[in-house]
Amino acid sequence: MWLGLLLSVFGMAVGVFIGLNLPLVLPQAYAKFLSVAALAALDSVFGGIRAAMEDHFDNSIFLSGFFSNALLAAGLAYTGERLGIDLYLAAVVAFGVRLFQNLAIIRRHILKKSYHKKENSL
């Protein structure tokens, strides 16, 4: 569990470093798609953390969810753009709501755990 956290922090740091130093710049037109994809990815990561806390983490579900959510969100935004509808808003709302739900559940798990620890220590 702690090793996973360490690895994720490490991976994130490397990703940020690479992202900031890459000489390639994304055109402004695609920034919207990437932002929705990033939101979806963030949601699946929190979902993964929640699953891990509930002890039913499945690697394949996590990975497939991550990629499919990101691609779906980006694709949705793209289609919306093509059709003249702000479909990316749907992705933003859906993933935003799920993100907050996941966060709330994670918070409760953490609180419960610390509670148990306190009771055990007493």
Partner 1 sequence: MNKSIYVSIIIVSLLLGLMISFQFRTNSSPTEVVPPERYQELTIEKKRVETDILNLEEEVADLSAKIEEARKGRTETADVLESELNKIKIYAGLTPLVGPGVELVLENPPESPGGSGFYNIRDEDLLKVINDLHGAGAEAISINEQRILATSEVRQAGNHININLTKLSPPYRINAIGNPGTLKSSLEIKGGLAEYLAASGTTVNIQQSDSIRVPAYSGSLRFDYAKQVQRG
Structure tokens at 47: 């979902």
Which of the residues 28 through 67 are near partner 1 (CB under 8 A)? 28, 31, 34-35, 37-38, 41-42, 44-45, 48, 57, 59, 62-63, 66
Alpha helix ranges (H) inside the chain: 2-21, 28-53, 59-83, 88-121
Alpha-carbon span 111 to 33, nearest angstrom: 35
Task: Compare residues 64 and 114 and give the one whose CB is closer to partner 1.
Answer: 64
Nearest distance from C-beta of residue 115 to partner 1, angstroms: 27
Helix 59-83, helix 28-53: angle, nearest 10:
150
Contact residues for partner 1 (CB under 8 A)?
A: 3-4, 7-20, 22, 25-28, 31, 34-35, 37-38, 41-42, 44-45, 48, 57, 59, 62-63, 66, 70
